Structure 1
Amino acid sequence: MASSSTPSALSSTANAAGSGVSTPAFSPLYQQIKGLILHSLQHGEWKPGEVIPSEMDLAARFRVSQGTVRKAIDELAAENLLMRRQGKGTFVATHAERQVQYRFLKLTPDTGDAGEEGPAQRTILECKRSRASADVARALQVRTGDPVIQARRILSFAGVPTILEDIWLPGQAFKGLTAEQMAEYQGPTYAMFELDYGVRMVRADEKIRAVLPDEDQAALLLVSQQTPLLSVERLAFTYNDVPMELRKALYRTDTHHYHNALS
């Protein structure tokens, strides 16, 4: 839980030149309040979809002005971590909300729109407990050999297999996850992670390149090995940049394209 004491706006850092003299490093007060709110979100004080205390209550808790709290909340809302609702308060953003439901799903049909097409049909090929390889361990910031959940699934549109995904999750955070659970949950996968495991993905880094599939991948996507596919490697993070999912996906782009709106 965040401390109720007033955060200090001044911290000392060692002189970069190595002189041994400490130099002050200033952090705006609202940024420190933002950090305290993030700490409470990360540790589950307020769950996804729940209302957080009012600006007045938070100002009293942290012993700062309401304006300082408001500026911190404004930034968190701009980052889609909190959502303001007129007359109702400020809520923890959740992937169950339609406006954030598809933040990381950007495949768009060439004709029509994603809303008309409807959600993808999911086929879970496997979901098992395994040991982290060196590459997976590095990405998820765990030790090589630590337990991870490894899943593979196909996403289809109109019965056509379009996306092949391999997913790795930290074993401790997602203990007990099964293929049946992934298959039966009808909403967004990230909403299931929130509801069942208390893990909210808040941002992701992605690497995109064009590749040719191997024999197994081509068979699963019903294409030839000479068909170019879009490879998307995603590392998704929860609060405070803690990595919680590594996902490697292959996209068919004969009827869909990968869409990213920049602002």
Structure 2
Amino acid sequence: MAEAPGISKSIEDASNGTSAPLAVPAFSPLYRQIKGLLLQSLQSGQWQPGEAIPSEMELAQQLRVSQGTVRKAIDELAAEHLLVRKQGKGTFVATHTERHVQYRFLRLRPDAGGLDEEGPAQRHILHCRRLRANAEMAQQLALRSGDAVIHIRRTLSMQGTPTVLEDIWLPAHAFKGISAAQITDYQGPTYALLEKEYGVRMIRANEKLKAIACADEATAALLQVAVGTPLLSVERTTYTYNDVPMEVRRGVYRTDTHHYHNEIN
């Protein structure tokens, strides 16, 4: 396995008190400093999604720390779904193409049966167009007012029934050339497309949920429900490394056959 000179140099710099940047304060536990260095390598693209990282033993030798310290750092990154351990194969950079994390941010579950029986959602793109960000959207995406954003409106159908209506905003500079046809044709979750084609990995999200009544006829028609039908409103801001916002998503969900599921540890 190739060495990670950037990592080993950074840990030397940290121990010597030089100015090499760490993702965490120098006074934090050593395993947290190692975690910060591993995060830097993930962010820089030194290890690509789906690629194996060096073994714990190799990393321990490169970083001049114990294998247990490296293991503890990797354990936290695995718990955060940034790395994936595969029995007998090693540790890999997590990717949205992995089946168990494909729909990690979509918490809608069928009332009867499970996701395997239901199958993947069917996307229908209503439009994908370039707009100028208003002040609110610019603030949410850490842009300047008037900067270009991509606005995608789509429905997600479960077993042929429109269940989710979503508006998605992306910073245009990071997703040049994205189109409705590309999103429609991609066989897999949209986050996997953004990761594979544009090198943007979404690693965490904040969501706000609210119960609402269907406010207008257009929404009711797209979801094939009566005007005034109760819906679940979900607003999500999704981040890449270093807490950089890369997506704002506002959706309304039918809950007559589905529910929002969250597992709390």
TM-score, normalization by structure 2: 0.89
Runs of 4+ in 1 over 4 A off after TM superposition: none
Cα distance per residue 1:56-105 (max 9 Å; x no partner):
33223333332222211111111111011222211001111111112111
Quick check: 1:46–1:52 contact (8 Å CA) kept in 2? yes
Match of 2:20 in 1: none
Structure 1 CA distance for aligned equivalents of residues 26 and 84 of structure 2: 31
Call closer, same or farther: CA 1:157–1:141 in 2, change over 3 Å.
Answer: same
Q: What TM-score, normalized to structure 1? A: 0.89
Q: Aligned to 1:4, which of 4, 9, 20? A: 9
Residue 252 (1) aligns with residue 257 (2): no
Partner residue in 1 for 2:21? none
Instruction: Name the structure 1 match of 2:185.
Output: 184
Amino acid at match of 1:147: A
CA deviation after TM superposition for structure 1 residue 182, in Å:
0.4
What amino acid maps onto 2:166 in structure 1? Answer: E
Distance change >3 Å, CA 128–CA 200, structure 1 → 2: same
Would the aligned equivalents of 2:14 and 2:26 in 1 still touch at CA under 8 Å? no
Q: What residue ranges of structure 1 are gaps of 5+ in the alignment? A: 12-23
Taking only aligned residues, the RMSD between alpha carbons, in angstroms, comes to: 1.9
For 1:127, the aligned partner's letter is: C
- Greater Cα offset, 178-187 or 84-93: 84-93
**Is residue 203 of structure 1 aligned with residue 204 of structure 2?**
yes
Structure 1 partner of 2:264: 262
Contact in 1 for aligned 2:140/2:245 (Cα 8 Å): yes
Shift of 1:248: 0.2
Correspondence 1:235 to 2:237: yes
Q: Report the residue type matching 2:98 in the other structure.
A: E
Partners of 1:165 and 1:129 in 2: CA distance:
16
Pair 1:135-2:140 in alignment: no
Against the structure 1 CA distance between its residues 160 and 57, is the aligned structure 2 distance closer, same or farther, given a 3 Å change threshold? same
CA distance in 2, matches of 1:231, 1:37: 36
Deviation at 1:216, TM superposition (A): 2.1
Instruction: Give 1:8-87 correspondences, 5 Å limit.
Output: 8=14, 26-87=27-88
The 5 A counterparts of 1:161-172 are 161-172=162-173
| Higher percent of residues as helix | 2
Contact 1:109 1:257 in 2 (8 A): yes
Deviation, 1:252, is: 0.8
Number of equivalent positions: 251
- Alignment-derived partner of residue 125 in structure 2: 124
- What is the rounded CA distance, in whole Å, between the counterparts of 1:2 and 1:143 in structure 2? 34
Unaligned stretches of 5+ in structure 2? 1-5, 18-24
Is this contact kept in 2: 1:10–1:27, CA < 8 A?
Answer: no
Over the matched positions of the two proteins, sequence identity in percent amounts to 66
Q: CA deviation at 1:25?
A: 7.0
Counterpart of 2:247 in structure 1: which amino acid? E
Q: Which residue of 2 aligns with 1:16?
A: none
3-state SS in 2 of match to 1:172: helix
Deviations 1:87-142 (A, max 9, x none): 22110011111111121111111222221111111100111111111111111111
